[in-house]
Amino acid sequence: MLKNRLTHTTAMAVAAGAMALAATTGASAQEDVIKIGSITTLEGPFATGGQDAYRTMEMAFEEIDYTINGKKIEWIRESSNAQADVALARARKLIEQDDVDIIIGPLSGAEGIALRDYSRTLEGKTIVNGSSGAADTTLRDASPNFFRFSTEGTQWMAGLGDHVYDDLGIEHVALVAADYAFPYAQVMGFMLDYCEAGGAVTKLWAPLNTTDFGSIIANIPDDAGAVLLIQGGTDALAFLTQYAEAGGDLPIIGGSITADQTLLSARGPHQRLMEGMLAAGPIADLNEDPMWVEWVAAYRERFPDGFDSPSIHAFNYYTNTKAVLMALEEVGGDLSDNQQAFQEALANVEFKNPMGADVKLDENRQAISDIFLTRIVDDGGTLRTEAFGKTEGVTQTMGMDREAFLALGAPSRDNPDCPPAN
């Protein structure tokens, strides 16, 4: 009987020891993994840009062999459809079910504001932007654990309004724009300079996912000197196709996601309108900087079925992912203390993005970087954007004092406004 009790006790001790070892091994395994979740748009009007974003994220992880200081990176991908509620649901799933440490995303403006607000409720987690470009994501009511190493929609238009009015002499443009947060930022970036110079703007707004632009085309004023098109993806393709088929011949000034490979790679009557299109943004297909040349070559080799050149969304997701990896390297992958050291390292990261432009963050954890004026050219039978001017170190307040810029009010469908055309 005593022997049986001893045997039973010994067995229990062995089992307990095994459980403790398993728990310790499990904890060690967890400590050796950094979980990075991501959200991009794989459904809806920006799906092709979202697919491209995941291509370049994959490039960034492959460059370090998915490893930081001996710790493996586990990448968990999620998809949204450019709607804020869907992006928020995906983010909650990544945090609450997958227990990720860091989220990189989202792609679209309203989604970014939703994730900014969600990040404020989290402790010991970090959200880093993907490609969303709404100004207020970081400009007003910034969250201490939301970071954006890509410039935003207002910044992307730096210098374009002056160029259109002063250099091209266009005094009245018809604005055709999607009715949500990112285009509002783009419109403000353009109009601040254009209106001050004396230009007039007629605004024609369309809901996201518009397929029939007939009534908008009919309302383009006869005296407009150009169409300012702040649309992207399938919405931009639909407008340009229908405008071309209607015989439209006004010059097109593009938003940053209009003059992009997601449209340039598509075939159809819209291409007649795109050649010569002017735009501005953080990226240009034709750029002689060695960093860009090398990065595009690596992209083409890795993804022969991808775009001719990485899209703006691919560029932004890669830039933000690289910042995350650099900060993780700086702290040796240490995410303890509610990620305090990691977030401090993230806030102080300075580097060059693939365009060869310097990137650093302001006090709201928003990127300061260079913006390029671009035109679309026929480069040996392929349409590409070509940089022909640059504004260096563009801040989120467009070079203005922060308080003065904030006093202008948040960008919206009514703000800013030019005097009406005569």
Q: What is the DSSP string of 31-87?
A: HTEEEEEEEEE-SSTTHHHHHHHHHHHHHHHHHTTTEETTEEEEEEEEEE-S-HHHH
> Within a domain: residue 162?
yes
Domain for residue 123, yes or no?
A: yes
In a domain, 8, yes or no: no
Instruction: State mean pLDDT over 19-31.
Output: 45
Q: What tokens does 384 get?
A: 């590409």
pLDDT of residue 44: 85
23 located within any domain:
no
For residues 94 and 188, membership in a common domain is answered with no
Predicted confidence at residue 30, as pLDDT, reads: 56
Q: Evaluate if residue 376 carries a pLDDT over 50.
A: yes
Q: Does some domain include residue 13?
A: no
Helix or strand (DSSP H, E) at 378:
strand 367-379
Q: What's residue 263's pLDDT?
A: 84
Q: Which residue has the higher pLDDT, 182 or 158?
A: 158
- Would you say residue 422 has pLDDT above 70? no
Q: Both 137 and 240 in a single domain?
A: no
Do 164 and 76 sit in the same domain of this protein? Answer: no
Residues 145 and 53 in one domain: yes
- Let me know whether 38 and 148 are in one domain: yes
- My answer on whether 41 and 190 are in the same domain is no
Is residue 418 situated within a structural domain?
no
Q: What is the pLDDT of residue 6?
A: 37
Which residue's entry shows tokens 């709201």? 364
Three-point CA angle 110, 116, 119, nearest 5°: 140
pLDDT band at 420 (very low <50, low <70, confident <90, very high): low
Report if residue 2 sits inside a domain. no
> pTM, whole model, 2 decimals?
0.87
The total domain count for the chain is: 2
What share of the chain in percent tops pLDDT 90?
Answer: 83
What are the tokens at 77? 């991908």
For the cut 50, the answer to whether the pLDDT of residue 344 exceeds it is yes
Give a yes or no: residue 20 inside a domain: no
User: Which H/E stretch holds residue 167?
Assistant: none
Q: Say whether both 200 and 349 belong to one domain.
A: no
Of 99-108, 242-251, 317-326, 413-422, the poorest mean pLDDT is in 413-422
Residue with the larger pLDDT of the pair 300 and 381: 300
Diameter of the chain measured on Cα atoms: 106
CB 246 within 8 A of CB 272: no
Average confidence (pLDDT) over 41-56: 93
pLDDT, averaged across the chain? 91
Query: pLDDT tens digit string along 266-320?
Result: 888 888 899 999 999 999 999 999 999 999 999 999 999 999 999 999 999 999 9
In this structure, are 65 and 140 located in the same domain?
A: yes
**Whether residues 166 and 225 fall in one domain:** yes
d(CA 384, CA 316): 18
43 and 135 in a single domain? The answer is yes
* pLDDT value for 25: 38
CATH number of the domain within which 218 lies: 3.40.50.2300
**pLDDT given for residue 262 in this prediction:** 78
Cα torsion angle, 163, 169, 175, 176, sign: negative
One domain, residues 116 and 160: no
Whole-number pLDDT of residue 260: 82
Same domain for 319 and 195? Answer: no
Averaged pLDDT for residues 245-271: 90
Which residues lie closer than 8 Å to 115 by C-beta, 6 or more apart?
Answer: 39, 87, 88, 91, 103, 105, 106, 127, 132, 146
Q: Does residue 8 have a pLDDT over 90?
A: no
What is the residue range of 269's domain? 155-288+371-406
pLDDT exceeds cutoff 90 at 140: yes
